[in-house]
Amino acid sequence: MGEEIETRYVGFCDILGFSNKVLTDFDRTLEIYKEFASLFLSVPAAKDVEITIYSDAVLITSESLIRVAQTIQRLWFVALVHNLMLRGAITKGRYWVRRHDNHMLVASDALARAVKIERSVGVPAVVIADDVEIPDVVWMSRFVNGAYTTPILHFRERNIVNPFNIMWGTSAGDRASQLMVESPAHRDKYLWFLSLYQAVKNDHELAPPGTLERFLREGIVKEKTKDSSEKV
């Protein structure tokens, strides 16, 4: 049972700074972690999404790219509430799992690649591997409903999971500014995050070059308004 090799989207995220907090103040950090895990797991996961949290690493898998991205977007919200940020990657590939009693074995080329990409990401972002195709419905959501609502954005030549949401966009920017003051050694990384925040706040396109023009040409988007929001 459960030994079939599947094709899955795999999201691997590192909770930045958590390991250092554990080493310097385990008891206090454990309480934060319990709150973090409780808040994140209290909301039922989307259908067919599997979530595994171990220490500072979070593994999310599904047959749906959008569901993985939406789950990580929610993870971003919980992380920022606790003054934490994420770095990670989403890939697509083979995923094998065997469960027996309390044991679980996993072998996945997608997971191996996600871990490798995560280590190379120099900013607080969950990036989507270049070979993962983003469906048009994602970019349509961005243009029709606004940048806060879509789970995936295109920023500085990368497709990334949107760390913001419509309920907590401004607070997320304020939290990042606070973290930059507290950790000046990581100033450049926080400046990158704040640049993304400003792009979302100012309603930049945040889609691959040519996407909006193609939608207009094909009649998917009927009108481009002055504030860059579109109507279908």
How does residue 104 score in pLDDT terms, banded at 50, 70 and 90? confident
How does residue 3 score in pLDDT terms, banded at 50, 70 and 90? low
How does residue 34 score in pLDDT terms, banded at 50, 70 and 90? confident
Q: Are strands 103-108 and 57-62 parallel, antiparallel or unpaired?
A: unpaired
> Is 0.85 topped by the overall pTM?
yes
How does residue 81 score in pLDDT terms, banded at 50, 70 and 90? confident
The arithmetic mean of pLDDT across residues 123-152, rounded, is 94
**Residue 226: pLDDT over 70:** no
How does residue 84 score in pLDDT terms, banded at 50, 70 and 90? confident
Q: Would you report the helix, strand and coil content of the chain in percent, each value rounded to 5?
A: 45, 25, 30
Percent of the chain with pLDDT over 70: 90
Q: What is the mean pLDDT of the chain?
A: 86
Judge contact between 91 and 161, C-beta under 8 A. Answer: no
**Residue 231: pLDDT over 50:** no
- Give the C-alpha separation, 221 to 217, whole Å: 8
Among 160, 85, 92, 152, which Cα is nearest to 128's?
A: 160
User: When comparing pLDDT for 5 and 211, which is higher?
Assistant: 211
Q: What's the CATH fold of domain 6-231?
A: Alpha-Beta Plaits (3.30.70)
**Residue 223: pLDDT over 70:** no
The arithmetic mean of pLDDT across residues 4-25, rounded, is 86
pLDDT in tens, 155-212: 999 999 999 988 776 788 888 888 888 888 889 999 999 999 999 999 999 999 999 9
pLDDT of residue 44: 61
Q: Are strands 126-128 and 85-100 parallel, antiparallel or unpaired?
A: parallel
**Residue 229: pLDDT over 60:** no
The ranges assigned to domains in the chain are 6-231
Among 124, 150, 168, which Cα is nearest to 204's?
A: 150
pLDDT of residue 73: 92
CB atoms within 10 A of CB 156: 11
Which DSSP helix (H) or strand (E) runs through 33? helix 26-41
